[in-house]
């Protein structure tokens, strides 16, 4: 049995939901049961809900309600387009009820002039709770036995509202009690992604983009054969297609490679997102809901078979390089500690670090505290700052054991001025820092050499 997750654009309108139904039907025909569906809110709905809450918190209740009203219309139109008259009444009155409740919350927030994270979660969760209800009813209308499962009763989280973490032991038990019986009864469970609840029953959300996370949690909890992430791209690509139009699909990659790629700017899946799947060794497949016959990208624990020397590349722009040099500190210990203590004090994450005996270079993408950081570092070192830098990272499991690949990467980039070069402990990636202006050229060179 597979878990199929559909993102916001894959449930954005009635046509998208009809495609979803076709995809679920095909999986059911193939597997003889399931699938288990996890769905996002319709695209842009979560943004609108959060904006509405923010407006309410700033006491602008009219503006807050103005953000909610089109959502009501959109959900009702979706229901009318997908569900037959016999079932429509119950569904539309549920939708109306939810929006009445939402309007009441928004008005209350405008009076209170404050929005707690707990309340924010109640508001944010509505997008997924509604889309999942509508889709469950749409399945039934299309002749598939859909059944809505309340994600608040299926996924148990801690109380870190707006970015809650699942309590896996409890969640496994609740998933087995709420989802498996539905499957065993021959039905198709439909859950809203992104949403859970604390042990006490307070609604939580898993952080923006959290529906992928939900899918991995559900897949792990019910021990699915595969988790499919249906989205609006063909899968993981060898490079950003906006820079490299010839980029091609990566058919297979390992969990470790996926983690490196997404950390370094590839957009598809965040590593923490698929962590529950990684732990249980459940394959994750990324697929395009507009091209259901595509192969997609399969992510597994095992490194991909095949002769590709590299798997893909990723890039990150708008980085700042900070060079920190201490003449007095030659051979001294404690220098690195002092340097990193400054970044810690200003809560600024460092991406790439290279060091020599007397100097350290780091990259940061958060410039908010840059001035203060430079001041603090200047108390014990010489500091220079270079903005408009970029990171280019080539990833492949084979880099670990085949030094010639890293050498080939650097040879290809030989006329590009590189500011930093790093190959860290995992040795699955080689990362270079270069001027942003040189990035497209460097990406083309690498792509031609390794992926053409
Ligand atoms: N609807 C949520 C968001 O927009 C979660 C998701 O779509 O994954 O962040
Ligand atoms: Mg998403």
Answer whether 162's CB lies under 8 Å from 121's CB: yes
- Please say if the pLDDT value at position 329 is more than 80: no
Mean pLDDT within 118-124:
98
> Given the CA of residue 213, which atom of ligand 1 is nearest to it?
8
* Cβ atoms 42, 78 nearer than 8 A: yes
- Ligand 2 center–CA 46 separation, angstroms: 11
Average pLDDT, the chain: 94
Atom of ligand 1 nearest to the CA of 208: 9
Q: Which ligand is nearest to the CA of 231?
A: 2
- Residue among 23, 16, 126 at smallest CA distance from 81: 16
**CA 326–ligand 2 middle distance (angstroms):** 44
At residue 405, the pLDDT reads 94
Percent of the residues in the chain that have a pLDDT greater than 70, as a whole number: 98
Nearest CA to ligand 1 atom 8: 209
pLDDT for 271 equals 73
Q: Is 266's pLDDT higher than 80? A: no
Please tell me the distance between residue 6's alpha carbon and the centre of ligand 2 in angstroms.
Answer: 9
Residues with Cβ within 5 Å of ion ligand 2? 7, 209
CA 23, 49, 3 angle in degrees (round to 5)? 25
Buried-exposed string 113-140: b where 16+ CB fall within 10 A, e elsewhere: eebeeebbbbbbbbbbbbbbbbbbbbbb
Q: Which ligand is nearest to the CA of 130?
A: 1
The answer to whether the peptide bond before residue 131 is cis (omega within 30 degrees of 0) is: no
* HSE-up of residue 18 (Cα within 13 Å, Cβ side): 7
- Global pTM reads 0.88
Give the Å distance between the CA of 434 and the centre of ligand 1. Answer: 33
Out of 145-149, 230-234, 247-251, 257-261, least confident range: 257-261
Point out which residues pair with 288 in neighbouring strands.
Answer: 231
Mean per-residue pLDDT for 343-360?
92
Predicted pLDDT of residue 331: 56
Residue 274 or residue 421, greater confidence: 421
Confidence of residue 267 (pLDDT cuts 50, 70, 90): low
**Of all atoms in ligand 1, which is nearest to the CA of residue 214?**
8
Q: Which of 136-150, 255-269, 278-292 has the lowest mean pLDDT?
A: 255-269
Distance 276 CA to ligand 1 centre (A): 18
Write down the number of H helices and E strands in the chain: 15, 17
Instruction: Measure 91 CA to ligand 1 centroid, in angstroms.
Output: 23
Alpha-carbon distance of 55 to 221, in angstroms, equals 37
Averaged pLDDT, 47-75: 96
Contacts of 279 (CB under 8 A, 6+ apart): 220
> Which atom of ligand 1 lies at the shortest distance from residue 7's CA?
7
Tell me the CA–centroid distance for residue 207 and ligand 1, in Å. 8
pLDDT classification of 121: cutoffs 50, 70, 90: very high
Whole-number Å distance between alpha carbons of 297 and 232: 13
Lowest mean pLDDT among 16-30, 95-109, 333-347: 333-347
pLDDT in tens, 30-47: 999 999 999 999 999 999
Shortest-distance ligand to the CA of residue 43: 1
Please name which ligand lies nearest the alpha carbon of 38: 1
Q: Is the pLDDT of residue 357 over 80?
A: no
Q: Is the pLDDT of residue 261 over 90?
A: no
Q: Whose CA is nearest to atom 2 of ligand 1?
A: 209
* pLDDT for the residue numbered 37: 98
pLDDT of residue 307: 80
User: Are 310 and 450 contacting, i.e. CB atoms less than 8 angstroms apart?
Assistant: yes
- C-alpha span between 191 and 360 (Å, rounded): 48
Q: How confident is the model at residue 327 (pLDDT cuts 50, 70, 90)?
A: low
pLDDT of residue 131: 98
* 126 CA from centroid of ligand 1 (Å): 11
Residue 406 clears pLDDT 60, i.e. is over it: yes
Nearest CA residue ID for atom 6, ligand 1: 209
**pLDDT higher than 80, residue 363:** yes
Q: Residue 171 CB: number of other CB atoms within 10 A?
A: 20
If one residue of 211, 218, 230 were mutated to test the ligand 1 pocket, choosing by the most ligand atoms within 8 A of its CB, it would be: 211
What does the radius of gyration of the chain's CA atoms come to, in whole angstroms?
Answer: 24
Residue 262 has pLDDT above 90, yes or no: no
- Residues 158-216: tens digit of each pLDDT: 999 999 999 999 999 999 999 999 999 999 999 999 999 999 999 999 999 999 999 99
Distance 233 CA to ligand 2 centre (A): 11
Instruction: Indicate which atom in ligand 1 lies nearest the CA of residue 128.
Output: 1
Ligand 1 atom, smallest distance to 206 CA: 5
User: For residue 265, what pLDDT is reported?
Assistant: 66
CA 148/CA 132 separation, integer angstroms: 7
pLDDT in tens, 78-98: 999 999 888 899 999 999 999
Q: Output the ligand 1 site: residues, CB below 6 A.
A: 7-8, 40-41, 46, 127, 193-194, 208-211
Half-sphere exposure of 249 (CA within 13 A, CB side): 15
Contacts of 223 (CB under 8 A, 6+ apart): 280, 282
Closest CA to 70 of 51, 84, 91: 51
Ligand 1 centroid to 427 CA: how many Å? 32
Shortest-distance ligand to the CA of residue 208: 1
The pick from 6, 40, 231 for probing ligand 1's pocket by mutation, whose C-beta has the most ligand atoms within 8 angstroms, reads: 40
């Amino acid at each position: 049995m597979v878990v199929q997750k559909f993102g916001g654009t894959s449930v954005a309108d009635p046509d998208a939901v009809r495609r979803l139904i076709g995809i679920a039907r095909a999986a059911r025909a193939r597997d003889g049961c399931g699938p288990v569906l996890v769905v996002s809110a319709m695209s842009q709905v979560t943004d609108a809900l959060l904006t509405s809450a923010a407006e309410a918190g700033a006491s602008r209740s009219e503006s807050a309600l103005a953000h909610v009203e089109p959502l009501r219309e959109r959900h009702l139109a979706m229901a009318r387009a997908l569900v037959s008259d016999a079932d429509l009444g119950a569904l539309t009155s549920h939708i109306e009820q939810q929006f009445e409740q939402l309007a009441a919350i928004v008005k209350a927030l405008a009076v209170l002039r404050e929005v707690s994270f707990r309340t924010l979660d109640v508001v944010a969760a509505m997008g997924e709770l509604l889309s999942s209800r509508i889709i469950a009813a749409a399945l039934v209308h299309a002749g598939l036995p859909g059944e809505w499962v309340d994600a608040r009763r299926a996924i148990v989280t801690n109380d870190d509202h707006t970015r809650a973490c699942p309590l896996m032991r409890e969640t496994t038990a609740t998933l087995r009690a709420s989802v498996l019986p539905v499957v065993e009864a021959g039905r198709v469970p439909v859950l809203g992604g992104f949403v859970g609840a604390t042990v006490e029953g307070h609604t939580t959300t898993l952080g923006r983009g959290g529906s992928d996370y939900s899918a991995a949690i559900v897949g792990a909890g019910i021990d699915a054969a595969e988790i499919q992430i249906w989205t609006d791209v063909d899968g993981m690509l060898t490079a950003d297609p906006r820079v490299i139009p010839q980029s091609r699909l990566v058919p297979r990659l390992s969990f470790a490679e996926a983690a490196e790629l997404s950390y370094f700017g590839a957009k598809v899946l965040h590593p923490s997102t698929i962590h529950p799947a990684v732990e249980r060794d459940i394959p994750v497949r990324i697929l395009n809901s507009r091209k259901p016959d595509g192969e997609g990208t399969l992510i597994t624990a095992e490194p991909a078979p095949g002769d590709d020397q590299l798997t893909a590349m990723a890039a990150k722009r708008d980085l700042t390089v900070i060079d920190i040099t201490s003449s007095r500190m030659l051979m001294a210990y404690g220098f690195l500690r002092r340097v990193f203590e400054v970044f810690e004090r200003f809560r600024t994450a460092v991406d790439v670090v290279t060091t020599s005996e007397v100097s350290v270079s780091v990259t940061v993408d958060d410039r908010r505290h840059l001035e203060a950081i430079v001041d603090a570092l200047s108390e014990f070192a010489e500091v220079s700052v270079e903005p408009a830098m970029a990171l280019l990272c080539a990833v492949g499991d084979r880099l670990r054991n085949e030094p010639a690949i890293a050498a080939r990467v650097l040879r290809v980039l030989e006329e590009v001025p590189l500011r930093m070069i790093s190959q860290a402990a995992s040795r699955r990636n080689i990362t270079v820092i270069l001027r942003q202006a040189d990035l497209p050229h460097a990406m083309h060179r690498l792509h031609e050499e390794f992926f053409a």
